[in-house]
Amino acid sequence: MTSIFSNRNVLVAGGSGFIGSNLINRFFSLGANIRATIHKKDPVVINDKIEYIGCDLLKMKDCRKIVEGMHYVFMCAANTSGAAVIASTPLVHVTPNIIMNSQILEAAYMAKVKKFIFLSSNAAYPPSADRPVCEDEMFYADPYDIYFGVGWMKRFTEILCRLYSQKLKNPMPCVVVRPSNIYGPYDDFDFATSHMMAATLRKVIERHDPVKIWGTGQDIRDLIYIDDFIDGLILAAEKISTFDAVNIAQGKAYSLKEILRLALEIEGYQNARIVYDSTKPSMIPVRLIDIKKAQELLGFTPKTDIYDGIAKTISWYKRVNA
């Protein structure tokens, strides 16, 4: 079946990032004409068919330049980091991201883009204890305190997406995708900025002794392999025609201790000494994601189980860092 992206102009904002790099690779198979933005990091997917544009999305003139002539815009660019940075500097993700998101939305609207796809976050949801959180719960209460700033930044951008989709005379359809925790090739493995999964896998691969884990290891997460997430992202962009938000996740939960056990087994790291540091920042204790809407609306089903996903990620990391 022919994709809606075949021979269409697609912008991937954040083309050197984790999600952006994997999305670019997928668009090759869909026959899209790919433009991607880069800023501080060099691109990791090198191909003459990609039009890379160096720009600063904090500058409106750059936002206008990159969306010109585009049919679809995927907003994957963001100022991101790990738990330590968020805990020590909670404003770091607020102002820059609000400016970038607001400006690229306005620029896309003025350029008459056919559809805008925004990557939100499961961290913006309010606490839901051990119950999977579904899409209509986003604004029921505040996010966890540790994510208050970044959570409301994501929520504000979702409201902007609704504005452009539903409240203007000539609407621009906007799709909001709320991922669970994503892992896989091209992830950020820098300990200073990485998330839990990438940091844990790197420590195992490098045979840290001891393997130091932040928190108690009891935090529970829904972890989705990047290829499965890209499947869901593409389905959402293809099948949702007006403003809507959808969770894209594995629909299963794992504790950090379980993740570590699997990584040690896959890597053959026997008798590893594990040290849990409860003084380090721990984020959301339990986050479960409801994916019924994605299953029913999009026909989405994740294909990669956690064991295979970890094995593929370890194999990729060792290959590129050989």
> 14: which 2 tokens?
């954040």
Report d(CA 25, CA 34) in Å as an integer.
Answer: 10
Token output for 299: 């026909």
Residue 207 lies in a domain: no
Give me the number of domains the chain comprises: 1
| Four-CA torsion 148, 150, 155, 157, nearest 10 degrees | 150
Range of the domain at 242: 9-183+223-251+288-303
Distance CA 7, CA 31 (A): 6
Q: Would residue 317 count as lying in a domain?
A: no
Q: What is the pLDDT along the chain (322 residues), one digit of tens a residue?
A: 578 999 999 999 999 999 999 999 999 999 999 999 999 889 999 999 999 999 999 999 999 999 999 999 999 999 765 555 566 666 777 999 999 999 999 999 999 999 999 999 999 999 998 899 999 999 999 999 988 999 999 999 999 999 999 999 999 999 999 999 999 999 999 988 888 899 999 999 999 999 999 888 899 999 999 999 999 999 999 999 999 999 999 999 999 999 999 999 999 999 999 999 887 766 788 999 999 999 999 999 999 999 999 999 999 999 999 8
Residue 265: per-residue pLDDT: 98
Cis before 143 (ω within 30): no
Is residue 4 assigned to a domain? no
CB atoms within 10 A of CB 316: 14
Neighbours of 215 (CB within 10 A): 18
CA 132 – CA 219 distance, rounded (Å): 15
The dihedral sign for the CA sequence 202, 250, 117, 140: negative
Q: Is residue 109 part of a domain?
A: yes
Rg, Å, the chain Cα set: 19
* Residue 90: per-residue pLDDT: 67
pTM: 0.95
Determine, yes or no, domain membership for 215: no
Within-domain flag for 77: yes
CATH number reported for the structural domain that contains residue 77 in this entry: 3.40.50.720
Contact 77, 19 (CB under 8 A): no
d(CA 204, CA 225): 18
Query: Is 118:158 a contact under the CB 8 Å cutoff?
Result: yes
Give me the residue label for tokens 């490098």. Answer: 206
Residue 204 lies inside a defined structural domain of this protein: no
Residues ≥6 apart with Cβ < 8 Å to 276: 213, 215, 216, 217
Q: Identify the three-state secondary structure at position 301.
A: coil
Query: Ramachandran region of residue 217, left (φ > 0), alpha (ψ -120 to 50) or beta?
Result: left
Residue 308 in domain: no
DSSP state of 298: I
